[in-house]
Each structure stands twice: as structure tokens, then as C-alpha cells.
């Protein structure tokens, strides 16, 4: 996330501090010693914590790297880890010298063990498994010891396969198909890792170093940087197809509506791409090529041509076709802000006296912005705050009675976007405080937007609302501008990352460079933003959030800034909570959620291992219960047009009111009613 214009100076300095010989090279070389050394030096100097790269950090990096390869302790043997652990306290010295040989050696050993486990699976799949014989399987294996010998590894893998097969079997998958799926999964894993180049391994090593400092910093290889750029600006230049890797083939998973491939009309879902050609050049086979590499071949500048040779399944087998598509700019519409206006019955004494309330709902998946377009044309560019502003202006024109901003599962995005969006509701006011590393500089960021909507407002949140979502929600809470509804708290990510681009072809560093605080002085780090009205949710029982992540930075608070609240919910909150609790208690949907929470707390969360026979018994009980629920639900059906409605919903791509949105609208109706009473 971009913090201030002063950071552009840091970005420029980075190019000078990086090894100078890189600038003179036309084609980037591998991540060699001097390059790694430069990346490490820059990362450590820029990180917010200002922690030294020492022996303590060295041990963390060592463990993180091992866990990136073998998180469940399936593959390595105890002797493998003991052999490499001799270098555990020297990782810091190796990184400072740009020496990644330890990472490469560990990776080669991992590939050897992976190959051995694949051979084991091939052997086990010929066996008959007796599911009437009980066995225990540890679900969480990250704290389990590595197998001592190959014989121990065989025991672990045989039980693992039996458990996985049973899981598939309980999901109505035949034993034969289950075995094929498991083999395909491990073969795919082997094929993926076998195609790793040294750069990929060194990148993983550098990311282990970044994760030792905090969970949100990372090294972005060149392709990762492209993907990050696409996700933040919601656009790319290419053909507009979502691809997947399947047993050596690049397969078309879906076609992006409105994209180049969709307009051309010849490429279809499930087509297998077997070769790619650039313009008029010869086709290059992409069978068994890594998905990222295939994607790089297909993406390209707008207006250029790409040829695809595909295999398409037909009744008689497979047809081979050649398609030429002109690349274009693809807008990822699914990630944009969407809105809809719903009718909600008025609350309280107004139930029978007024027309239904009109509630505008905006669903915002992320705080996106096209930085390149913003630099080129500051008055016209794609961004979440501009899109939300347009939705709000439409709501005002249509005289809505209240607005709901749905930030559930919104993981954040641009810091400036959160600040601008806050202004749409509170005007020219302070929104967030940003503290640089070591407390050297504390900056109060104010909105430059004038308020567009000043009426009743609810913000919906859950445990996956993070970062920029928490900035906006925290500001709305401190200004008493919005009622916060949803899970108990948000995610708790209160840090700011900036992207420092390395020379062309070398990717970038995503580094935590600051921590943000609400205008009240409270940090959202680890603790998140508490909601005003809590709704039942399984998320409230699960361990989700920043506080559960390794090496997360601690919570802190600072002095608040001067600000004037826009409202006061203290007098109405007790009434709103009481009315909401009554509805939630009577709701069949939320009753089921409460039952799921209780089952999780009493049966699933305390479970450290699963008995295979117990698993079968529990599954039979759950299936019987679900069948009964479905049977009861079918008796309540009043028509046969539900399938048609779902189809139309998919076509319209509009926001649909789920039970949480419905309850949020009821809360907003209660608030509007209470407001009218006091006026």
C-alpha cells in the first residue's frame, strides 16, 4: 500500500543501492550471489521492525523454509533434518553473503523424498484397504516428529492414504476414483516441484526470510509481481481466460466475460492448450510446461496476436484446432464494487404506516486502484473509491433511506483508497495515523473527498475483513458514523506494506514499512476492529486473524488526534442489540449456525486425531440429519421455479440478499425508526 510521496525517493534510492552491474544487462540473470545479497540488505534496512538479521532470526528462517516444503512432516526423515540443522544458526551469515546453497541442497533432498513417497503411493494403491479396522490419524501434523526411518514413513503414508480415501468415500466417491484422484494429486505435486529452477528455490528462501520478520512481507518474483499488479488494479492485457494446470495440460477453466477470447468466441471452457505462437511465429509446445510459464506466453501487449493450438474433447475423441486471438485490456468485473437497492419493511410503530424502506447495498471485494492509469490521467482512472462514489451518488438521486457497505472478506488494498472512501461518509476529516519505523515520523492522513452520503449507514464485517477495510471501519466507528455489524472482530492487520520494485526482471520487495492507527489512537494490529452488533458465525469460534499468524507484530496504541464525532450510538445500541437478538434467536438459519458453532467447539476443535471408525459413525449421523432437514425443507416449497431463479441470478450478477444482509437491513430499519422517534 502506498503511504506518501516521500517513499518515491526510497524507491529511487533502491535502484542505486542495488548492485549496479544489473542495470547494464539487457536480460536479467539468475538470482546470483550479489543479487541475493543486495535483496537481503535492502529488505532488512527497510523493514518496520528494524530487527537485525542475527542468529535468532536465522533459526526462524530455517524452520520456515523447511515448513514451506514439508509443513505436515510427511517427506523429510529425521536424519535429513538433523543433517541440515547444523547450519541453522548460520543462515543469517549465508544470506548476508548472498549464498543460497543450503536452500538448494535442502530442496534437492526434498525432491528425492517426494519421489520416494510417490513410489510408495503407487505400491499402496494396489492394496485393498479394510475400513472396518480402526486406526487413528493426526489431523494437525505440524508439531509431529519427522519419521525416523523409511519404514516409519511407510506406516504414516499408509494411514494417510487410508484416511484420505475414506474422506473421499464418505463424499460419495468410489474407491477406484478416489485412488486415481490421490495419485493424480501427488503426481501433480511431483511434476510441479520437478520443474522448479534455482531461481524458484532461492525465491522461496527469500520469502522464508521475509516471513521471519512478519507475515505480510515477501519477495515477489517477476511473475508474482505481475499477478499482484493485476489483483490491485483489476485489469490485465491478454486474452481473458482463467487457466488451470491438469496432469501436464494447461486447461481453460473459464472465459472472462467481455474479454478478447469471449468476443472472438472460438475458445471454450475445458479446451486443452498444447502449443502457443507469438504473432506469425511458429507454435511452441506447452505440454508439461509450468502454468506460470504458459500464462507468460499467452499474456502480452494490447493489440498483438497470440496463436493457441488446442485439443477439444468431442464424442469421437479429440479435435485439434488453431485459434488466433488479438490481445486486449481485460477488466476483471467480478472484483469491482457492485450495488443493488432492496425494499425493507419499516420497523416498530411504522410497520403499517409507511411504504417499505429503500436500502442501498454496496458489495466491495477489495480496495483496488489502477496506479498506472492514475499517474497518466489523475482525473479518470479505475479505483474502488471512485466506483463507490458513483454508487452512492446514484443512491442519493434515488432517495434511499439507508446504506449498507458490505466489507465481508475484503482483505484490503490501497491505503489511499480507504482514506478517500472514508471521506465519502465523513468529509474532509482525519482518517488514519501512519507511524513509520522507529517512530521517526507520524503522519495524520486526512480525506480530500467531500461527503456524498450523510444518511444512516451500516458496515458489514467478518474475520476476513482486513487492512484497508479495518482503516475504513475503524474511522467510521470512531466518528460514530456507522453501525458495525458481523463477526466479533475483523482480521487485525494493522500494518502498511509498500512495493519496492527491483530492476527489470528481478521482481520486487513487498515490505512492511509502517503501522497504522485509528484517530482514537488505537491500533487494529492483532486485535482488529470490534463490531457494534455481533451476529452468529462459525468464524467467531475459529482461530482466525493476525494474532494466529507466526511473527505478527504486537499491538500498540498512541495518542489520539483531534476529531469530532458525527453521531452517538450509545443510547440506541442496547435497543438495537435486543431487537436483533430476538430476530436471530427466532431465525432457523441462525439457529443452524449456532448448532454448527456448538458442534465445532465440542467435537471438532478439541479433536487432535480422528478415529477412522468414529469418523464413519459421525458422517452417517450428519448425513441422516441433513437428509431430514432437506426433506422438511422440500415440503415447504411452494413452486418449481427455483432453478430458473438461480439461472437468472447468475446472468444478472447482482447482489443477492443473504441472511446476514437481511438482518443488517432489519438493524438499519430499527435504527431509522429510533431516529425518527427522537426527532
Cell for 317?
475423441
pLDDT at 634: 53
pLDDT at 483: 98
Give the three-class secondary structure for 444. strand
Please give the Cα distance from 398 to 453 (Å, whole number). 12
pLDDT greater at residue 274 or residue 433: 433
Cell for 542?
475459529
Report CA-CA distances (Å) from 138 to 89, 121, 167, 189.
Answer: 31, 19, 14, 22
CA distance between the termini of the chain = 42
pLDDT at 2: 39
CATH of domain 235-331: 2.30.42.10
Hey, which residues are catalytic here?
Answer: 467, 478, 493
Give the three-class secondary structure for 145. coil
Q: Does position 126 have pLDDT exceeding 80, yes or no?
A: yes
pLDDT at 233: 59
Q: Does position 648 have pLDDT exceeding 50, yes or no?
A: no
pLDDT at 332: 67
pLDDT at 222: 83
Q: Are strands 483-486 and 457-461 parallel, antiparallel or unpaired?
A: parallel
Q: Where are the alpha helices (DSSP H) in 341-467?
A: 371-376, 384-397, 415-426
Contact by Cβ (8 Å): 349, 673: yes
The model's pLDDT over 343-401, given as tens digits with 9 standing for 90+, comes to 999 887 766 667 899 999 999 999 998 877 788 888 888 899 999 999 999 999 999 99
Beta bridge partners of 330: 236
Cell for 23?
542495470
Work out the pLDDT band at 604, boundaries 50, 70, 90: low
When pLDDT is averaged across residues 489-497 and rounded to a whole number, the result is: 94
Same fold, 235-331 and 335-496+512-630+642-678: no
Contact by Cβ (8 Å): 416, 391: no
Report how far Cα 181 is from the mean position of its chain's Cα atoms: 26
pLDDT at 247: 66
Give the three-class secondary structure for 36. helix
The model's pLDDT over 59-96, given as tens digits with 9 standing for 90+, comes to 999 999 999 999 999 899 999 999 999 999 999 999 99
**Stretch among 457-471, 638-652, 658-672 having the lowest mean pLDDT:** 638-652
Beta-carbon contacts of 465 under 8 Å, excluding residues fewer than 6 positions away, are: 407, 408, 409, 410, 411, 473, 486, 490, 491
pLDDT at 610: 65
Mean pLDDT of the chain: 85
Domain ranges across the chain: 50-213, 235-331, 335-496+512-630+642-678
Closest CA to 456 of 346, 321, 530, 567: 567
Please give the Cα distance from 430 to 423 (Å, whole number). 9
* Sign, CA torsion 634/639/641/646: negative
Q: Where are the alpha helices (DSSP H) in 217-359?
A: 222-233, 260-264, 291-298
The model's pLDDT over 254-278, given as tens digits with 9 standing for 90+, comes to 787 778 888 888 998 888 898 899 9
Q: How many DSSP H helices and E strands does the chain contain?
A: 21, 21
Please give the Cα distance from 179 to 168 (Å, whole number). 9
For the whole model, what pTM was predicted?
Answer: 0.79
Crossing angle for the helix pair 573-586 and 659-678, to the nearest 10 degrees: 140
Tell me how long the chain is.
Answer: 679
**Stretch among 133-137, 194-198, 390-394, 558-562 having the lowest mean pLDDT:** 133-137
In order, the DSSP letters of 187-218 are HHHHHHHHT--HHHHHHHHHHHHHHHH-TT-E
pLDDT at 254: 79
Please give the Cα distance from 165 to 615 (Å, whole number). 12
Q: Does position 221 have pLDDT exceeding 90, yes or no?
A: no
Q: Which residue has 466507528 as its cell numbers?
A: 477
Please give the Cα distance from 364 to 418 (Å, whole number). 11
pLDDT at 377: 81
Please give the Cα distance from 212 to 61 (Å, whole number). 6
Q: Does position 587 have pLDDT exceeding 90, yes or no?
A: yes
Q: What angle do CA 424, 428, 429 make, to 5 degrees?
A: 105
Closest CA to 662 of 404, 433, 381, 392: 404
pLDDT greater at residue 620 or residue 432: 432
Q: Does position 603 have pLDDT exceeding 90, yes or no?
A: no
Cell for 83?
543433517
Closest CA to 253 of 263, 240, 266: 240
The model's pLDDT over 36-54, given as tens digits with 9 standing for 90+, comes to 999 999 999 999 999 999 9
Q: What share of the chain is helix, strand, coil (3-state, %, to 5)?
A: 45, 20, 35
Give the three-class secondary structure for 370. coil
Cβ atoms within 10 Å, residue 604 = 14
Work out the pLDDT band at 642, boundaries 50, 70, 90: very low
pLDDT at 350: 67
* Percent of the residues in the chain that have a pLDDT greater than 70, as a whole number: 85
Work out the pLDDT band at 458, boundaries 50, 70, 90: very high
Work out the pLDDT band at 404, boundaries 50, 70, 90: very high
When pLDDT is averaged across residues 589-598 and rounded to a whole number, the result is: 92
Q: Are strands 235-238 and 483-486 parallel, antiparallel or unpaired?
A: unpaired
The model's pLDDT over 136-162, given as tens digits with 9 standing for 90+, comes to 877 778 889 999 999 999 999 998 888
Work out the pLDDT band at 441, boundaries 50, 70, 90: confident
Contact by Cβ (8 Å): 191, 248: yes
Please give the Cα distance from 43 to 218 (Å, whole number). 9
Please give the Cα distance from 453 to 440 (Å, whole number). 36
Report CA-CA distances (Å) from 607 to 26, 571, 595, 611, 622.
Answer: 56, 43, 17, 10, 17
Q: Does position 427 have pLDDT exceeding 80, yes or no?
A: yes
Please give the Cα distance from 583 to 667 (Å, whole number). 10
When pLDDT is averaged across residues 321-348 and rounded to a whole number, the result is: 85
When pLDDT is averaged across residues 568-595 and rounded to a whole number, the result is: 95
In order, the DSSP letters of 126-169 are TSPP-TTS--EEES--TTSPPPSSHHHHHHHHHHHHHHHHHHHH
Cell for 133?
479396522
Give the three-class secondary structure for 512. strand
Please give the Cα distance from 368 to 469 (Å, whole number). 12
pLDDT at 320: 84
Cell for 409?
472478506
CATH classification of 335-496+512-630+642-678 is 3.90.226.10, yes or no?
yes
Q: Which residue has 482461530 as its cell numbers?
A: 543
pLDDT at 480: 96
pLDDT at 575: 96
Cell for 38?
543486495
Q: Where are the alpha helices (DSSP H) in 540-641?
A: 573-586, 588-599, 612-635
pLDDT at 640: 39
* Percent of the residues in the chain that have a pLDDT greater than 90, as a whole number: 52
Closest CA to 390 of 421, 351, 357, 433: 421
Please give the Cα distance from 428 to 416 (Å, whole number). 14
Report CA-CA distances (Å) from 209 to 49, 74, 226.
Answer: 14, 23, 22
The model's pLDDT over 504-543, given as tens digits with 9 standing for 90+, comes to 888 899 999 999 999 999 999 999 999 999 999 999 998 8
Contact by Cβ (8 Å): 397, 388: no
When pLDDT is averaged across residues 568-581 and rounded to a whole number, the result is: 95
Q: Which residue has 521482481 as its cell numbers?
A: 507
pLDDT at 1: 40
Amino acid at each position: 500500500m502506498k503511504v506518501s510521496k516521500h517513499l518515491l525517493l526510497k524507491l529511487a534510492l533502491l535502484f542505486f543501492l542495488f548492485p549496479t552491474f544489473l542495470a547494464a544487462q539487457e536480460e536479467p540473470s539468475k538470482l546470483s550471489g550479489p543479487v541475493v545479497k543486495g535483496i537481503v540488505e535492502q529488505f532488512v534496512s527497510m523493514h518496520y521492525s528494524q530487527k537485525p538479521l542475527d542468529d535468532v532470526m536465522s533459526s526462524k528462517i530455517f524452520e520456515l523454509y523447511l515448513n514451506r516444503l514439508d509443513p505436515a512432516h510427511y517427506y523429510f526423515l529425521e536424519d535429513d533434518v538433523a543433517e541440515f540443522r547444523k547450519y541453522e544458526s548460520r543462515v543469517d551469515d549465508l544470506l548476508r553473503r548472498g549464498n543460497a546453497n543450503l536452500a538448494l541442497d535442502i530442496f534437492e533432498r526434498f525432491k528425492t523424498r517426494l519421489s520416494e513417497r510417490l513410489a510408495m503411493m503407487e505400491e499402496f494403491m494396489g492394496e485393498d484397504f479394510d475400513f472396518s479396522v480402526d486406526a487413528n490419524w493426526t489431523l494437525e501434523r505440524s508439531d509431529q516428529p519427522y519419521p525416523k526411518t523409511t519404514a516409519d514413513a511407510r506406516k504414516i503414508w499408509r494411514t494417510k492414504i487410508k484416511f484420505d480415501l475414506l474422506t473421499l468415500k464418505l463424499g460419495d466417491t468410489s474407491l477406484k476414483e478416489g485412488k486415481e484422484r490421490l495419485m493424480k494429486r501427488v503426481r501433480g505435486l511431483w511434476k510441479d516441484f520437478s520443474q522448479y529452477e534455482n531461481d524458484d528455490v532461492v525465491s522461496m528462501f527469500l520469502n522464508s526470510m521475509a516471513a521471519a520478520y512478519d507475515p505480510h512481507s515477501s519477495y515477489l518474483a517477476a511473475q508474482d509481481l505481475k499477478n499482484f499488479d493485476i489483483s490491485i488494479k483489476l485489469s490485465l492485457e491478454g486474452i481473458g481466460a482463467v487457466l488451470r494446470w491438469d496432469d501436464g495440460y494447461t486447461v481453460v477453466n473459464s472465459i472472462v466475460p467481455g474479454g478478447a477470447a469471449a468476443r472472438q468466441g472460438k475458445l471454450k471452457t475445458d479446451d486443452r492448450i498444447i502449443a502457443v505462437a507469438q504473432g506469425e511465429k511458429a507454435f511452441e509446445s506447452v505440454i508439461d510446461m509450468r502454468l506460470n510459464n504458459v500464462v507468460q506466453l499467452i499474456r502480452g501487449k494490447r493489440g498483438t496476436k497470440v496463436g493457441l493450438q488446442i485439443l477439444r474433447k468431442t464424442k469421437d475423441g479429440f479435435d485439434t484446432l488453431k485459434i488466433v486471438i488479438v490481445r486486449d485490456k481485460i477488466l476483471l468485473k467480478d472484483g469491482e464494487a457492485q450495488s443493488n437497492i432492496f425494499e425493507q419493511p419499516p420497523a416498530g410503530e411504522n410497520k403499517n404506516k409507511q411504504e417499505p424502506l429503500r436500502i442501498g447495498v454496496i458489495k466491495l471485494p477489495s480496495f483496488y486502484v489502477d496506479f498506472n492509469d492514475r499517474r497518466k490521467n489523475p482525473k479518470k482512472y479505475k479505483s474502488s473509491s471512485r466506483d463507490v462514489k458513483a454508487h452512492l451518488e446514484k443512491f442519493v438521486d434515488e432517495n434511499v433511506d439507508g446504506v449498507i457497505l458490505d466489507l465481508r472478506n475484503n482483505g484490503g488494498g490501497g491505503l489511499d483508497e480507504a482514506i478517500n472512501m472514508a471521506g465519502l461518509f465523513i468529509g474532509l476529516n482525519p482518517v488514519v495515523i501512519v507511524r513509520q519505523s522507529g517512530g521517526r515520523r507520524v503522519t495524520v492522513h486526512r480525506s480530500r473527498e467531500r461527503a456524498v452520503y450523510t444518511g444512516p449507514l451500516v458496515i458489514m464485517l467478518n474475520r476476513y475483513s482486513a487492512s484497508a477495510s479495518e482503516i475504513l471501519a475503524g474511522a467510521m466507528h470512531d466518528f460514530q458514523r456507522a453501525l458495525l455489524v458481523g463477526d466479533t472482530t475483523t482480521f487485525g492487520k494493522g500494518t502498511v506494506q509498500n512495493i519496492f520494485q527491483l530492476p527489470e526482471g528481478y521482481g520486487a520487495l513487498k515490505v512492511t514499512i509502517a503501522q497504522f492507527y485509528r484517530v482514537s489512537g488505537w491500533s487494529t494490529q492483532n486485535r482488529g476492529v470490534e463490531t457494534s452488533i455481533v451476529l452468529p458465525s462459525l468464524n467467531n469460534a475459529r482461530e482466525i486473524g493476525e494474532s494466529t499468524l507466526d511473527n505478527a507484530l504486537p499491538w500498540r496504541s498512541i495518542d489520539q488526534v483531534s476529531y469530532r464525532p458525527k453521531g452517538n450510538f450509545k443510547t440506541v445500541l442496547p435497543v438495537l442489540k435486543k431487537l436483533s437478538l430476538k430476530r436471530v434467536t427466532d431465525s432457523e438459519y441462525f439457529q443452524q449456525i449456532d448448532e454448527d458453532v456448538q458442534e465445532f467447539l465440542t467435537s471438532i476443535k478439541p479433536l487432535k486425531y480422528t478415529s477412522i471408525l468414529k469418523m464413519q459413525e459421525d458422517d452417517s449421523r450428519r448425513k441422516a440429519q441433513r437428509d431430514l432437514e432437506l426433506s422438511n425443507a422440500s415440503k415447504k416449497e411452494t413452486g418449481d421455479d427455483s432453478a430458473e431463479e438461480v439461472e437468472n441470478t447468475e446472468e444478472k450478477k447482482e447482489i443477492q440478499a443473504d441472511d446476514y444482509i437481511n438482518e443488517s437491513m432489519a438493524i438499519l430499519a430499527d435504527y431509522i425508526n429510533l431516529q425518527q422517534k427522537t426527532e
